[in-house]
C-alpha cells in the first residue's frame, strides 16, 4: 500500500504545482490596475492620478517580468508568505489564518452531518420493506437535489431566527465575549444544517442506498446470514463496509463542493470564514487574497481526494493488493457534482 | 429476521427502481413542466403587457392576485409575472447554453484524447485532474475578477469546471468501441477515420453523454442562481431567477415574502423536473444515475 | 485497521477543527462576560459598511463610527454642524485670513497615556498635506505654507491665501506623532490599532465581525456615559433587522422598508446631506445643450421616487446644498409640458415610438451606477422608467463597481451620491469646479465646466465674510440651476433604531452613508 500511496501523493503535488501556475498566470493577466484599485479604495472612490499609480506600481513590484513575479511569489509562499492584501495592506497569511479555521469548522461539521444523515437515510431506504418509505426518501432526495444552497439557508434563517427567535442568526458568538463550545454550537447549527442537507445530500443518499441495496441479496451476505451471524454484524461488516465504498469515494470528491458551498452559506449567516473574503477579493481585484483562497481550496480538495482514496482502500480489500488500480469506482464525479457552487 | 427482500428475479422498486427505470408518471409530469416552462419563456412578451424593468410608483408592493398583476409587484412596482417570465428566458437560456458548451467541449476533448498520441492523452488527463481540484465557485471568482461578472463568465465557468466527466465518458466509450468488430470492419471497408468517428464511434457514445447533458442543464440553472446571489452572475438589471431571488431576499422579513417564494419555487421545480428527465435518459448507467 | 475508519476519521477531524477554532478565538475575545444580553453600559450597534482602515488620515470628512469615536480634531461640529472648540480651546484668525493660531487644552492625553502636544498637530497637518493622493483630506491643506509649534499648546498656520473652510477642516482628527513618526500614513497597523484622543478607545477589532470600544477615562470632557460600544458589521439588511429583533444587537442602522417592522425600539430618523442625482458626462456632445439637461430635470417626478424607493425617508433634491445653511437652489418641478417645450426648442421631435429624436436618431444613452448598491439601482430603474415615459431613450444598465472604476470617462449618465453637512466648499468645489475635472485627476467626474459656477466657488472659499460667502453660494446654486450638471433626485434620511432607555442621541444633519450618528456618543447613557 505504501508505493501506490507515494505515487498518488506525487501526482497530487504535481497537480498543486500546476494549480499555482494556473492561478497566478490567470490572475496576473487580469485587466485593470491593482495599484489604481488600491489608491482608489483609499481615496473614497475617486480615480487616482497617473503619477501616483506609477509610483505605487513600482512599490508593489508590479513592473517586473511575469516569471520573476511568479518565482518570487512561489518562494515566498513556500515560506508561508502569501503577500500583502491590496485592499487592507495586511499580510494575506494573517487574514487567512483568521478566516480559514471557521470555514474548516463549518465544512467539517456539515460533512459529518451530511454523511451521518445520508448513511442513516440511505440504509433505511435500502433495507426497509415499506414501499412508501422508500418513495418518500426518494422524493426527498429529488427535491433536495433542486434546492439551491442559499435558498435552503434563507429558509432556515427565516424559520429558526426571524419567525421564532430560537437560534442566533449569524456570526460565531456575541461580540466581545468569549466563544464557549455551547454558544459556538448554537451558532453552528443553522449554517451546518443548511450546508449539509443541500443539493449533494440526495446524491449521498442514493449512493448509500444503491451501494448497500446492491449487496443486500449478494451471495456472501446470504452466506453470512446462513452462518447465523448476528444481524448487526451482517449489516455492518458485510453490507455497510463494502456497500459504502462508492459513497466514501464521492464524499472525498465533494469536499470541494461543500467547501465552496460554505462560501454561500457564510454570506447568509455572516460566518467569518473565507467565503466573504474570497468574494470581496474577487470584486475588489485583491489578487493576493484571491490567489491564496484558490490555492488553499485546491489544496484541501486534493488532500480530501487523497484521504478518500485511503479510506476506500481500507474499506475494500480488493484495492489492497499491489498492482491493482487503487480505485474501485470511477473517482471522477458525475456532472452536477464536480465542484459546483450551491 | 430477513429484511424485506426483493426476490432475485423480481424488479426492485422504490429508490432502486428509479435508478434503473423511471416511473412513468413522474417522467411525464416532468416533461409537461419543462415543456410548459419553455413555452412560457418563449412567449413571455405575448403573455404580459408589462416590461420586466418598467417601474410603477403608483403600484408598489402589491400582493399576488391584485388586478392586472397576478403574482403581485415588487417594491418599485415592477410586475412579478413579467419578471418571472423574462427571468425564465435568461435562466433556461443559460442552462441550455451552458450544457451545450460543456457537452460540446467535453465531446471534442474526449474524442481528441481517444485518438491522440499517448503524451497528449496524458496531458488532457492531467489538465482534467487540475480542474477537478478547482471548485466552480473558485474558477468563477477568478474569471469574474478578470473579466467582470457577466453571463459569459457564468457559462465559461460552468464549462471549464464540468467538461471533464463528458470527456472521460466519450474517451472511454470511443476506446472500447474502437476495438469492436464492426468498427474494425468499417476501417476494413475503407472508411476514413473521420467517417468512422462520425458514423460509428460518436453515436455509440451518445446515450451516456445525453444523460450528462440533461443533468448539466439543471446544474447550470442552479449555478446561475447561486452566482447571481453572490453578485457574480447575470448582470443585475437582466431578470433571471437568481437575480430575482437576490433582489427579493431583503424583503423576506418585510412582508413581500412572495417575491422570494415564487422564483425559489420556479428554480426548484425546474431542476427537479430536469433531473427526473435526465435520470430517465441515463437509464441504467451505473453510478452515473445522478 | 480500525473498525469504522470513515466515521472515526471524520469525527477526529471535526473535533480537531473545533478545538483549533475555539483556541484560536479564545485569546482575544475580551475578558469575562456573561451569556445574558449585556446591558451593563454596553451598546451593540449593527452597521452595514465596514471601512478598510480606521486611520482618519485616509478617510474623508465623513468618518465611520469607530474612527469618529476614537479620534478628535482641534475643532468639531455641534448639533447645527457649526464649528466649536474640541482639542483646541480657542483660536485667533488674522485679519487677512492668512494666519491661524490655535491654543490647545491643557492636560490632553492619547489613549496610550502620552500627552497630546502641538507637535502632534503640526505633524498631522504636514503628514496629511504630504500624503497627496493617499489622503482625501490633503486638498484642505494645499494653501498652507507653514505649520509651527512655538510651544507645547500653541499651533500656528500660515496660508498663502485665505481659505474659508480652514476651521472646519481642522475638525480632522489629530494623529499621534509618537506612533506614526517615521512610518507612512498608509501604515496598515495604525489603521487597525489606532491610537487617538477621543472619548472611546479601540480594544478589539475582528475584521468582518466587530469592533469593540471602551470608554476612555482620560477624555478631556471626562469619561463617557457608556462603558462599551460594540460596532458589529452586518452587511446584509435582513440580518440586521433579525439581529435587532432577536436581541443580538441593541441598535442598528436600518433600510427604509424595515423601519415599520421594528418593535420595542426607538427610531432616530435624521436628515442627511447625502443626495443622489443623475450625473451627465459632459464630454459627450449629446448633453452639450443645457436645454436637454433642463428638460430631463423636469422629466423626473422626485416626489414619486422619494415616496417609492425610500418610502418617504428622504427629501426631493433641488441642488447640492439643500441641507446646509446656504440652501437657496430653486430646483426643478416635474412638468411634462416644460419637457416638451425645452426639447422642441432644442430641435428634437417625437418619433414613431414617442421618443425624442433629432436628425433621425433618438437621444439614446446608458444610465448606469454601481450594481452592488441596491438603493442606487432602485433609483436608476425608477428614474429610467420616468425618463422613458417622457420620451428619453434610456438604457438602464447597472455596472459592477470594478468596471466603473476603469470606465469613468466612458460613462454617459451615472447615479452619483455627494453632499456634506459641513463646510459647503468641501462637497461642491471638487465635483463642480472645472479645474477638478476627471481628466485633471479631480472628482468632477462629469467634467462640468461653467465659468459662473467656477467664479462663485472661488469666491466662496476665498472670503471669510459670512455675507459674501452666502452671496457666493447663492450665485453658485443659480449657476447650476441655469446650466444643470445633474438631474437632482433626492436627499436620504438615516434610520437608526436604538433601545428605548438610551438617552443622548440628538438630531443633526448627517453625512455620507449616514455617518455621524455617533457625533455626541460621549453623552449617551442608559436611563
Pick A26's closest partner by Cβ from B126, B146, B260.
B146
Contact C238 B253 (CB under 8 A): yes
Do C395 and C364 form a contact (C-beta atoms < 8 A)? yes
**Which helix H or strand E contains C497, and what residues bound it?**
strand C486-499
Distance of CA B7 to the CA centre of its chain: 37
C435 to chain A, any CB pair closer than 8 A? The answer is no
Q: Grid cell 453625512 — which residue? A: C511
Q: For residue B73, list its beta bridge partners.
A: B79
Q: What integer best gives the mean pLDDT of chain C?
A: 90
Question: Dihedral of CA C206/C208/C209/C210: which sign?
Answer: positive
Asked if this assembly's ipTM is beyond 0.85, the reply is no
Report whether pLDDT(A15) > 50. yes
Burial grade of C80 (CB within 10 A; 0-12, 13-18, 19 or more): exposed
pLDDT tens for each residue of A96-105:
898 999 999 9
In angstroms, the CA B90 to CA C80 distance is 51
Task: Work out the number of other CB atoms within 10 angstroms of the CB of residue A71.
Answer: 12
What cell was used for B43?
Answer: 412567449
In angstroms, the CA B174 to CA B192 distance is 16
pLDDT band at residue A37 under the 50/70/90 scheme: low
pLDDT band at residue A131 under the 50/70/90 scheme: confident
B58 contacts in C (CB within 8 Å)? 304
Tell me if residue C182 falls in helix, strand or coil.
coil
Q: Where are the beta strands (DSSP E) in C127-264?
A: 144-151, 154-159, 200-206, 210-215, 228-233, 251-254
Contact A105 C14 (CB under 8 A): yes
Which of B3, C9, B283, B21 has the alpha carbon at shortest distance from A212? B3
Give the neighbours of chain B: at least 3 Cβ pairs within 8 Å: A, C
Report whether pLDDT(C1) > 50. no
pLDDT tens for each residue of C224-271:
999 999 999 988 888 888 889 888 899 999 999 889 889 899 999 999
C149 to chain A, any CB pair closer than 8 A? The answer is no
What cell was used for A273?
Answer: 470564514
Give the neighbours of chain A: at least 3 Cβ pairs within 8 Å: B, C
Do C253 and C240 form a contact (C-beta atoms < 8 A)? yes
Per-residue confidence in pLDDT tens, chain B, 290 aa? 334 333 344 444 443 433 434 456 778 888 999 999 999 999 988 988 898 999 999 988 888 988 889 999 988 899 999 999 999 999 999 999 999 999 999 999 998 898 888 899 888 888 887 787 777 888 888 887 777 778 898 999 999 988 998 898 888 888 887 777 777 787 788 777 777 777 777 777 777 788 888 888 988 898 888 888 888 888 888 899 989 988 887 777 777 788 888 998 999 899 888 888 887 776 543 333 22
In angstroms, the CA C452 to CA C481 distance is 11
In angstroms, the CA C57 to CA A169 distance is 35
pLDDT tens for each residue of A270-284:
888 888 888 888 777
Dihedrals phi, psi of C415, to nearest 5 degrees: -80, 110
**Mean pLDDT on C378-386:** 96
Number of A to B CB contacts under 8 A, please give it.
236
State pTM to two decimals.
0.84
Nearest CA in chain A to C210: A175
Do C84 and C37 form a contact (C-beta atoms < 8 A)? no
Pick A334's closest partner by Cβ from B2, B245, B290.
B290
What cell was used for C12?
Answer: 477526529
pLDDT of residue B133: 73
**Mean pLDDT on A114-124:** 92
Do A260 and A54 form a contact (C-beta atoms < 8 A)? no
Nearest CA in chain A to C136: A43
Query: For the ranges A269-278, B278-287, C152-161, C496-505, which has the lowest average pLDDT?
Result: B278-287
Q: Grid cell 424559520 — which residue? A: A159
Measure in Å the smallest separation between the Cα of C459 and chain B Cα atoms.
Answer: 42
CA C265-A179-A160 angle, to 5 degrees, is 50
- CA-only gyration radius of chain C, Å: 26
Report whether pLDDT(C18) > 50. no
pLDDT tens for each residue of A285-332:
777 788 888 888 888 888 888 887 777 777 766 554 443 333 333 333
Nearest CA in chain A to C405: A47
**Which helix H or strand E contains A1, and what residues bound it?**
none
What cell was used for C85?
Answer: 472648540
Residues 364-393 of C with CB under 8 A from A: 372
In angstroms, the CA A194 to CA A201 distance is 11
pLDDT band at residue C143 under the 50/70/90 scheme: very high
Task: Work out the number of other CB atoms within 10 angstroms of the CB of residue B71.
Answer: 21
The residue count of chain B comes to: 290
CA C394-C397-C398 angle, to 5 degrees, is 140
pLDDT of residue A27: 59
pLDDT of residue C433: 96
Burial A114-139 (b: 16+ CB within 10 A, else e): bbebbbebbbbbbbbeeeeebbebbe
Q: Half-sphere exposure of residue A82, counting CA atoms within 13 Å on the CB side?
A: 21
Residues 307-366 of C with CB under 8 A from B: 307-309
Report whether pLDDT(A239) > 60. yes
Dihedrals phi, psi of B98, to nearest 5 degrees: -60, -40
Nearest CA in chain A to B4: A129
Q: Grid cell 487574497 — which residue? A: A289
Pick B75's closest partner by Cβ from C257, C385, C403.
C257
In angstroms, the CA A237 to CA A315 distance is 10
Contact C301 B56 (CB under 8 A): no
B160 contacts in A (CB within 8 Å)? none
In angstroms, the CA C67 to CA C173 distance is 9
Measure in Å the smallest separation between the Cα of C402 and chain A Cα atoms.
Answer: 7
Contact A298 B133 (CB under 8 A): yes
Pick C241's closest partner by Cβ from B231, B249, B253.
B253
Report whether pLDDT(C404) > 70. yes
Nearest CA in chain A to B3: A127
pLDDT of residue B284: 40
In angstroms, the CA C22 to CA A105 distance is 10
Task: Work out the number of other CB atoms within 10 angstroms of the CB of residue C261.
Answer: 14
C396 contacts in B (CB within 8 Å)? 53, 237
Report whether pLDDT(C31) > 50. no
Pick A339's closest partner by Cβ from B12, B136, B225.
B136
Nearest CA in chain A to C13: A108
pLDDT tens for each residue of C343-360:
999 999 999 999 999 998
What cell was used for C517?
Answer: 450618528
Measure in Å the smallest separation between the Cα of B60 and chain A Cα atoms.
Answer: 23
C183 contacts in A (CB within 8 Å)? none
Pick C208's closest partner by Cβ from A37, A47, A272.
A272
Contact A179 C26 (CB under 8 A): yes
B56 contacts in C (CB within 8 Å)? 385
In angstroms, the CA C312 to CA C214 distance is 36
pLDDT band at residue C71 under the 50/70/90 scheme: very high
Q: Concatenate the DSSP letters of all residues of chain B into one string.
A: ----PPPTTSPP-HHHHHHHS--HHHHHHHHHHHHHHHHHHHTHHHH-SS-TT---TTSTTPPTTBTTBTT-B-TT--BHHHHHHHHHHHHHHHHHHHHHHHHHHHHHHHHHHHHS-HHHHHHHHHHHHHHHTS-HHHHHHHHHHHH-S-HHHHHHHHHHHHHHHHHHHHHHHHHHHHTSHHHHHHHHTT--HHHHIIIIIHHHHHHHHHHHHHHHHHHHHHHHHHHHHTTSSS-TTS--HHHHHHHHGGGTTTT-THHHHHHHHHHHHHHHHHHHHHHHHHTT-TT---
Contact A32 C402 (CB under 8 A): yes
Amino acid at each position: 500500500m505504501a508505493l501506490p500511496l507515494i505515487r498518488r501523493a506525487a501526482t497530487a503535488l504535481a497537480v498543486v504545482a500546476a494549480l499555482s501556475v494556473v492561478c497566478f498566470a490567470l490572475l496576473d493577466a487580469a485587466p485593470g490596475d491593482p495599484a489604481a484599485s488600491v489608491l482608489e479604495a483609499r481615496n473614497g472612490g475617486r480615480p487616482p492620478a497617473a503619477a501616483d499609480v506609477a509610483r505605487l506600481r513600482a512599490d508593489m513590484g508590479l513592473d517586473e517580468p511575469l516569471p520573476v513575479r511568479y518565482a518570487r511569489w512561489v518562494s515566498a509562499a513556500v515560506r508561508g508568505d502569501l503577500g500583502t492584501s491590496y485592499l487592507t495592506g495586511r499580510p494575506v497569511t494573517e487574514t487567512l489564518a483568521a478566516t480559514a479555521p471557521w470555514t474548516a469548522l463549518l465544512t467539517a461539521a456539515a460533512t459529518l452531518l451530511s454523511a451521518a444523515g445520508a448513511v442513516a437515510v440511505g440504509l433505511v431506504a435500502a433495507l426497509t420493506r415499506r414501499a412508501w418509505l422508500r418513495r418518500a426518501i426518494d422524493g426527498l432526495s429529488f427535491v433536495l437535489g433542486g434546492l439551491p444552497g442559499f435558498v435552503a439557508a434563507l429558509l432556515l434563517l427565516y424559520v429558526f431566527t426571524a419567525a421564532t427567535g430560537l437560534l442566533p442568526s449569524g456570526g460565531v458568538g456575541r461580540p466581545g465575549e468569549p466563544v464557549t463550545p455551547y454558544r459556538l454550537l448554537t451558532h453552528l447549527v443553522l449554517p451546518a444544517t443548511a450546508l449539509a442537507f443541500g443539493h449533494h445530500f440526495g446524491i449521498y443518499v442514493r449512493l448509500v442506498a444503491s451501494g448497500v441495496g446492491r449487496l443486500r441479496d449478494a451471495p456472501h451476505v446470504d452466506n453470512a446470514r446462513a452462518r447465523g451471524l448476528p444481524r448487526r454484524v451482517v449489516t455492518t461488516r458485510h453490507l455497510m463496509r463494502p456497500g459504502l465504498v462508492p459513497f466514501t469515494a464521492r464524499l472525498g470528491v465533494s469536499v470541494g463542493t461543500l467547501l465552496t458551498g460554505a462560501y454561500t452559506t457564510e454570506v447568509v449567516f455572516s460566518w467569518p470564514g473565507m467565503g466573504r473574503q474570497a468574494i470581496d477579493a474577487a470584486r475588489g481585484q485583491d489578487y493576493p487574497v484571491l490567489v491564496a483562497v484558490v490555492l488553499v481550496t485546491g489544496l484541501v480538495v486534493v488532500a480530501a481526494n487523497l484521504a478518500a482514496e485511503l479510506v476506500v482502500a481500507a474499506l475494500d480489500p480488493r484495492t489492497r493488493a499491489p498492482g491493482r488500480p487503487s480505485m474501485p469506482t470511477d473517482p471522477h464525479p458525475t456532472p452536477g457534482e464536480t465542484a459546483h457552487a450551491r | 429476521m430477513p429484511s424485506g427482500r426483493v426476490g432475485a428475479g423480481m424488479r426492485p422498486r422504490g429508490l432502486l427502481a428509479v435508478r434503473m427505470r423511471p416511473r412513468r408518471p413522474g417522467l411525464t409530469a416532468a416533461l409537461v413542466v419543462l415543456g410548459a416552462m419553455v413555452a412560457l419563456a418563449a412567449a413571455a412578451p405575448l403573455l404580459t403587457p408589462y416590461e420586466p424593468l418598467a417601474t410603477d410608483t403608483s403600484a408598489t408592493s402589491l400582493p399576488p392576485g391584485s388586478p392586472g398583476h397576478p403574482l403581485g409587484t415588487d417594491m418599485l412596482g415592477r410586475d412579478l409575472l413579467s419578471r418571472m417570465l423574462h427571468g425564465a428566458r435568461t435562466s433556461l437560456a443559460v442552462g441550455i447554453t451552458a450544457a451545450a458548451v460543456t457537452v460540446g467541449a467535453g465531446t471534442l476533448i474526449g474524442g481528441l484524447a481517444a485518438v491522440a498520441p499517448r503524451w497528449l492523452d496524458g496531458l488532457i488527463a492531467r489538465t482534467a485532474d487540475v480542474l477537478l481540484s478547482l471548485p466552480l465557485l473558485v474558477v468563477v471568482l477568478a474569471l469574474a475578477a478578470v473579466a467582470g461578472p457577466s453571463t459569459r463568465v457564468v457559462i465559461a465557468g460552468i464549462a471549464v469546471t464540468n467538461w471533464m466527466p463528458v470527456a472521460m465518458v466519450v474517451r472511454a466509450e470511443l476506446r472500447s468501441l474502437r476495438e469492436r468488430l464492426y468498427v474494425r470492419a468499417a476501417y476494413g471497408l475503407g472508411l476514413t477515420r473521420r467517417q468512422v468517428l462520425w458514423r460509428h464511434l460518436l453515436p455509440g457514445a451518445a446515450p451516456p453523454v445525453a444523460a450528462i447533458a440533461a443533468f448539466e442543464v439543471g446544474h447550470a440553472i442552479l449555478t446561475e442562481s447561486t452566482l447571481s446571489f453572490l453578485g457574480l452572475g447575470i448582470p443585475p438589471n437582466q431578470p433571471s431567477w437568481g437575480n430575482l431571488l437576490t433582489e427579493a431576499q431583503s424583503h423576506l422579513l418585510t412582508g413581500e415574502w412572495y417575491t422570494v417564494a415564487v422564483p425559489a419555487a420556479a428554480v426548484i421545480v425546474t431542476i427537479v423536473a430536469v433531473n427526473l428527465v435526465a435520470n430517465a435518459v441515463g437509464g441504467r448507467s451505473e453510478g452515473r444515475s445522478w | 485497521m480500525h473498525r469504522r475508519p470513515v466515521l472515526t476519521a471524520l469525527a477526529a477531524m471535526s473535533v480537531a477543527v473545533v478545538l483549533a477554532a475555539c483556541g484560536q478565538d479564545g485569546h482575544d475575545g475580551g475578558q469575562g462576560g456573561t451569556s445574558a444580553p449585556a446591558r451593563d453600559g454596553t451598546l451593540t450597534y449593527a452597521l452595514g459598511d465596514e471601512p478598510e482602515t480606521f486611520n482618519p488620515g485616509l478617510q474623508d470628512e465623513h468618518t465611520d463610527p469607530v474612527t469618529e469615536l476614537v479620534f478628535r480634531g482641534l475643532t468639531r461640529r455641534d448639533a447645527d454642524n457649526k464649528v466649536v472648540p474640541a482639542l483646541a480651546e480657542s483660536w485667533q484668525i488674522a485679519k487677512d485670513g492668512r494666519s491661524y493660531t490655535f491654543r490647545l487644552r491643557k492636560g490632553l492625553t492619547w489613549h496610550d497615556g502620552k500627552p497630546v502636544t502641538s507637535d502632534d498637530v503640526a505633524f498631522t497637518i504636514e503628514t496629511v498635506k504630504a500624503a497627496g493622493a493617499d489622503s482625501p483630506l490633503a486638498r484642505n491643506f494645499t494653501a498652507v505654507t507653514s505649520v509651527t509649534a512655538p510651544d507645547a499648546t500653541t499651533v500656528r498656520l500660515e496660508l498663502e491665501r485665505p481659505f474659508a473652510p480652514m476651521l472646519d477642516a481642522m475638525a480632522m482628527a489629530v494623529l499621534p506623532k509618537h506612533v506614526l513618526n517615521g512610518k507612512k500614513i498608509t501604515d496598515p497597523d495604525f489603521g487597525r490599532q489606532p491610537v487617538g484622543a477621543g472619548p472611546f478607545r479601540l480594544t478589539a477589532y475582528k475584521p468582518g465581525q466587530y469592533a469593540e470600544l471602551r470608554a476612555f477615562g482620560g477624555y478631556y470632557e471626562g469619561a463617557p456615559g457608556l462603558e462599551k460600544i460594540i460596532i458589529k458589521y452586518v452587511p446584509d439588511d435582513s440580518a440586521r433587522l433579525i439581529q435587532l429583533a432577536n436581541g443580538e444587537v441593541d441598535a442598528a442602522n436600518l433600510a427604509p422598508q424595515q423601519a415599520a417592522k421594528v418593535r420595542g425600539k426607538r427610531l432616530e430618523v435624521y436628515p442627511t446631506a447625502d443626495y443622489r442625482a443623475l450625473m451627465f458626462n459632459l464630454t459627450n456632445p449629446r448633453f452639450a445643450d443645457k436645454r436637454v439637461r433642463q428638460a430631463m430635470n423636469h422629466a423626473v417626478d422626485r416626489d414619486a421616487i422619494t415616496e417609492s424607493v425610500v418610502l418617504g425617508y428622504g427629501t426631493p433634491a433641488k441642488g447640492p446644498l439643500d441641507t446646509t445653511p446656504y440652501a437657496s437652489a430653486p430646483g426643478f418641478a416635474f412638468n411634462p409640458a416644460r419637457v416638451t417645450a425645452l426639447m422642441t426648442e432644442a430641435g428634437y421631435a417625437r418619433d414613431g415610438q414617442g421618443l425624442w429624436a433629432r436628425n433621425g436618431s433618438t437621444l439614446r444613452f446608458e444610465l448606469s451606477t454601481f450594481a452592488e448598491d441596491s438603493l442606487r439601482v432602485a433609483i436608476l430603474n425608477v428614474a429610467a422608467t420616468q425618463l422613458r415615459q417622457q420620451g428619453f431613450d434610456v438604457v438602464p444598465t447597472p455596472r459592477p463597481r470594478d468596471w466603473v472604476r476603469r470606465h469613468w470617462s466612458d460613462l454617459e449618465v451615472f447615479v452619483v451620491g455627494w453632499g456634506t453637512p459641513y463646510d459647503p466648499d468641501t462637497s461642491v468645489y471638487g465635483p463642480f469646479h472645472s479645474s477638478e475635472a476627471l481628466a485633471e485627476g479631480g472628482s468632477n467626474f462629469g467634467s462640468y465646466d461653467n465659468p459662473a459656477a467656477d467664479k462663485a466657488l472661488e469666491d466662496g472659499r476665498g472670503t471669510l465674510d459670512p455675507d459674501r460667502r452666502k452671496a457666493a453660494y447663492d450665485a453658485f446654486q443659480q449657476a447650476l440651476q441655469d446650466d444643470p450638471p445633474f438631474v437632482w433626485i433626492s436627499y436620504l434620511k438615516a434610520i437608526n433604531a436604538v433601545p428605548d432607555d438610551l438617552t443622548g442621541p440628538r438630531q443633526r444633519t448627517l453625512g455620507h452613508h449616514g455617518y455621524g450618528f455617533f457625533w455626541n456618543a460621549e453623552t449617551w447613557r442608559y436611563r
